[in-house]
A and B are shown apart, each in its own frame.
Chain A
Amino acid sequence: MTECVQCGADVTLHDDAEVGEIVDCTTCGAELEVVERTPPVLDRAPELEEDWGE
């Protein structure tokens, strides 16, 4: 378990969480990026860019 960098609420990662994956904070709704798995470290997810996705 770690905490949301935006609101400080507890965030629990799934067992299969990957570095680079985006998780939502269920308390404030912030999109968070998994930066480290063990121990879990989260950062704010990058903003959507215009050239993303297919």
Chain B
Amino acid sequence: MQIGLLYSRIRKDEKLLLAELRERGHEVVKIDVRDLQLALDEAPEILSGLDLVVDRCLATSRSLYATKFCEAYGVPVVNSAETAQTCADKVQNSLALAQSGVPTPATDVAFTKESAMESIESFGYPCVLKPVVGSWGRLMAKIDSRSAAEAILEHKATLGHYEHKVFYVQEFVDKPGRDIRVLAADGEPLSAMVRSSDHWLTNAAKGAETDAFELDAEAEKLVEQASDAVGGGLLGIDLMEVGGESESDYTVHEVNHTVEFKALNETTETDVPAEVVDWLEAKADEADEETKHEVVA
């Protein structure tokens, strides 16, 4: 198949994907989004003839618009623009999970320092303040006191981009020093690991230690529900164990739509790029079938 890869930086994840795709004989068209001009009516030449486009944009903003344009041009793209839209924004992400009945940490959104402070006080200390857009554990604040809350709110309101004036306040989940990252394709888990750290943030990007993790039935069910809640696709679903390590009791705090998987590939026995390319091949076949169906209809 001929597959387009939207990117602006080739990370190890993309290198793994490129190697697997080429090894299987697929023709890969690398599309640097920094070179694109996306007109409303006509697709750029580089997008023509592709069986499937894989969005691997590093920047969320580019991912959102590039996938939207691909769909407008009738070019099959994974993940979908809808999924990207929901996952890119923590507010929409939380709403989608809650509306689908997926357990997720209690969260308030407030637009002023005063109303955010009321939320913080109602959650009690510690609680967590997160930016609505962002990853790798950046700009996350665990708030331990009223004076810390006042300072952080003041800083965000004064120094931040307008999105930092949307205050996303969340209960602090006392997880057992680790959280769980699941890579799932349309709700089916491909690989999972725990990320452990003495720090309250357990992101792999923050240096957490990673170990393979065997999902139980409850976790598998939640992964499927969370995937459906955001529109499906190739996703990184993050769970925390709210009942300790031995209880099958989880909360889903986030779903990521351009998931990084190099840490998973190194931690688990799963050949992650092979699994991902299996799924991409299936998605390309699906898209092809849909196109044929439309032509016949």
Residues of chain A having any CB pair with chain B under 8 Å: 16, 18-22, 33-34, 45-46, 49-54
Contacts and interface: CB of A to CB of B under 8 A. Distances in A.
A-B CB proximity, top 7 nearest: A20-B10, A54-B256, A53-B135, A51-B60, A21-B10, A53-B136, A18-B10
8 contacts: A18-B14, A18-B18, A20-B9, A21-B15, A22-B9, A50-B161, A51-B61, A53-B135
Contacts of A46: 8-9
Given A50-B161, A51-B60, A52-B135, A20 B8 contact: yes
A17 to B, nearest CB: 9
Chain A interface mostly: loop
A38 B58 CA distance: 25
Interface stretch (B42-50, B95-103, B207-215, B257-265): B257-265
A43 to B, nearest CB: 12
A50 B139 CA distance: 9
Contacts, number: 60
Nearest to A33: B9
A14 to B, nearest CB: 10
Interface of B: 7-11, 14-15, 18-19, 30, 32, 58-61, 131, 133-136, 138-139, 161, 205, 236, 256-260
Nearest to B235: A54
Given A18-B15, A20-B32, A53 B58 contact: yes
Contacts of A19: 10, 30, 32
Given A22-B10, A46-B8, A50-B161, 5 more contacts: A19-B30, A20-B32, A21-B15, A51-B135, A54-B236
Nearest to B133: A51
A8 B237 CA distance: 43
Contacts of B14: 18, 20
Nearest to A21: B10
Contacts of B138: 50
Nearest to A45: B9
A22 B11 CA distance: 8
Contacts of A49: 59
Nearest to B255: A54
A53 B10 contact: no
Contacts of A50: 131, 133-134, 138-139, 161
